[in-house]
Amino acid sequence: MATQTSPSRSRSRWPAALIRERARPDGIRSRPNAWWLAVGTVCFGAFMGQLDASIVTLTYGSLRTEFHTSLAAVEWVSLAYLLTLVALLVPAGRLSDAHGRKLLYLYGFALFTLASAACGLAPSLTALVAFRVVQAAGAALMQANSVALVTTSAPRERMRTALGVQAAAQALGLALGPTVGGALVSTLGWRWVFGVNVPIGLAALVAGHYLLPRTRTRTRVAGFDWAGLTLLAVATTSALLAVSAASGLPVPGWGVGVLFAVAALAGWGFVVRQGRADSPLVELALLRVRAVTFGLVGALSGYLVLFGPLVLVPVVLTARGSSALAAGAVLTALPAGFALAATGGDRLLPRSMTDRNRCLLGAAVFTAAVAALLVVPLTLSWLVPVLALTGLGLGTFTPANNVMIMGAIPASSSGTGGGLVNMARGLGTALGVALVTFALHVGGRASGGREAALILLAVALLALGAAWAGPAGARSGPGQNGGRDEA
């Protein structure tokens, strides 16, 4: 007689199925290039994240017209997403270390895809901003795990190449954003800027289910540090709001000062809390590791230099009479150079070259390129080689920088480490936009280019200094964190 499964037992299997990571099929796991399949799957998220970051600003005009509102109100479509993302990256990485990186990465993709569909159907600006917050929560789960999944999937000797490919996918999304966004808005309408994420997200979910490895090493988490999360959110939100307010938002001077003070107090409270909490979001011991500390400074500085010109170049060129199409074409030189160096650097540079020296070389190149912005005329013919050189330097610097950080973090904390890396990138992105906007606001759209270039040069020198202060013996491939995640 066939046994029957009771309804209660059947129901009890559902929660277990929802929190259990499934292994890849044996036929995929045993393939010599299985790690490439995993890296390629992660590139879906890397591409979508940067595409979304650079595409949404193209909708501002249409949103103002449809919802009959001001530009200051429309900016919250981007601001709400960015603030949520920066606040959640580290806690998302912490939860992933405990419950499985593949599991939370796939849940993040599902949430991001559903929220993208909701954004495309939003009946009001308030609803759109709310859906963008949900979308950012999904993006945090994706981005916090992307670097960790790459570093735990790829062989140690191919780690820098794998991270370079992921960085190139980000650069590709960044480069295509303005073109794709402009085409969608002008033909199908602003709602399809969000709708385009849905088919890509569905394909990525299927690929991730079959191609990503399970988490081998996990960290037990006894509880969740809600107080730490609140302090982190207040610190990052206040800091970004303060910089944005100083960049031209209608906020009085005393309000900017209050925001900076709140950010400083909340940041200090977060550090104190992490030293006392039983299950902190960030283990302060990680930040005492030299490679991690200076690596995160370098990651933030590098992304600030990467995103700053994305604001500077279009504003300056269009203010001087160039078309938006010409400005966009010139701007592609930056991510194109980034992608070229990130994917081809290992073939051109000696394999014996340490990651520290690669960081120094890349930082020296983009520092020289940014310095050139202070002396050459900001015209189409000069900007193309300068931006391409900046991209080449950043594409050499970023993969080596990421390898040094993740190589100094134990495998059991790779999700937390990935969250820290992506949080540094997110802050660099936000500050790149805000500081360049501030410089253009102070100096005027057409004449503020030199002030903006001076800020970018100071940050590039900071990245060069962080690379110089990094551990001299850091070589390619991670130390504690290398190797495959799934047996």
* pLDDT value of position 479: 43
Average pLDDT on 203-211 reads 80
In the structure, what pLDDT confidence band is assigned to residue 142 with cuts at 50, 70 and 90?
confident
- How far, in whole angstroms, is CA 429 from its chain's centroid? 8
CA distances from 166 to 15, 48, 111, 324, 383 (A): 33, 12, 21, 29, 26
In the block, residue with structure tokens 């949900």: 134
CB 76 within 8 A of CB 131: no
Instruction: Indicate whether 478 pLDDT > 50.
Output: no
Q: Which long-range contacts (CB under 8 A, 24 or more apart) does 114-118 make?
A: 114/138, 116/194, 116/195, 116/197, 116/198, 116/201, 117/194, 117/195, 117/197, 117/198
Residues recorded for the chain:
487
In the block, residue with structure tokens 């999904």: 138
CA distances from 130 to 80, 134, 153, 483 (A): 8, 7, 35, 40
Average pLDDT on 193-205 reads 85
Instruction: Indicate whether 138 pLDDT > 60.
Output: yes
CA distances from 123 to 37, 67, 413 (A): 39, 9, 41
Q: What is the pLDDT of residues 327-355, one digit of tens each?
A: 667 777 887 888 788 777 777 777 778 88
Mean confidence (pLDDT) of the chain: 78
DSSP 279: S
Which positions ≥6 away from 270 have C-beta within 8 Å?
228, 231, 232, 235
In the structure, what pLDDT confidence band is assigned to residue 269 with cuts at 50, 70 and 90?
very high
Q: What is the pLDDT of residues 16-65, one digit of tens each?
A: 555 666 766 666 666 777 777 888 778 877 787 777 776 776 677 788 88
Q: What is the pLDDT of residues 372-389, one digit of tens each?
A: 988 888 878 888 899 999
In the structure, what pLDDT confidence band is assigned to residue 1 with cuts at 50, 70 and 90?
very low
